[in-house]
Amino acid sequence: MKAKTDHSASPGDELLRALSALANPHRLRIVAALAGGRNYVSGLAREIGISRPLLHMHLQRLEAARLVSGNLELSEDGKAMKYFEVTSFALALTPETVAEAARTLSAEPPGGQRGREQQQ
């Protein structure tokens, strides 16, 4: 994945964060819409066809995964408007990249290997 990197996050955590963020139809539509160019929240909400509060929730998730970024700007009439744009990223999924990412995950998921060992 090529994006702004958090040097404290492992490659596995980065991949998991990106895939998790993209695993929602609204968020996929948001990224697709922003691939055509930056947009402000109200305009993007109209384009996608969802409410601004719901859009904000999804944008926060995409920002946390570093798939989009937002900037506050003042319009000509002095109104604060938040514009979002998609960041440059690339995900290459092969069995090998998934295996490597899995080896670098910072924590095992609930019910993982440790959970199975405790049940036996």
Q: How far apart are CA 36 and CA 40, in angstroms?
A: 13
Average pLDDT, the chain: 87
Helix, strand, coil in percent for the chain, rounding step 5: 50, 15, 35
Q: Is the pLDDT of residue 5 over 70?
A: no
The full set of domains in the chain, from first to last, is 11-119 (1.10.10.10)
Q: Is the pLDDT of residue 112 over 70?
A: no
Q: Is the pLDDT of residue 12 over 70?
A: yes
Helix (H) or strand (E) segment spanning residue 80: strand 80-86
Q: Is the pLDDT of residue 3 over 60?
A: no
CA dihedral 73, 76, 78, 80 (to 10 degrees): -30
Q: How far apart are CA 108 and CA 118, in angstroms?
A: 14
Q: Is the CB of residue 84 less than 8 Å from the CB of residue 67?
A: no
pLDDT on residue 107 = 76
Could you tell me the pTM of the whole model? 0.77
92 CB-near residues (< 8 Å, 6+ apart): 1
When mean pLDDT is compared across 8-12, 15-19, 30-34, 78-82, the lowest value belongs to 8-12
pLDDT, one tens digit per residue, over 41-75 is: 999 999 999 999 999 999 999 999 999 999 999 98
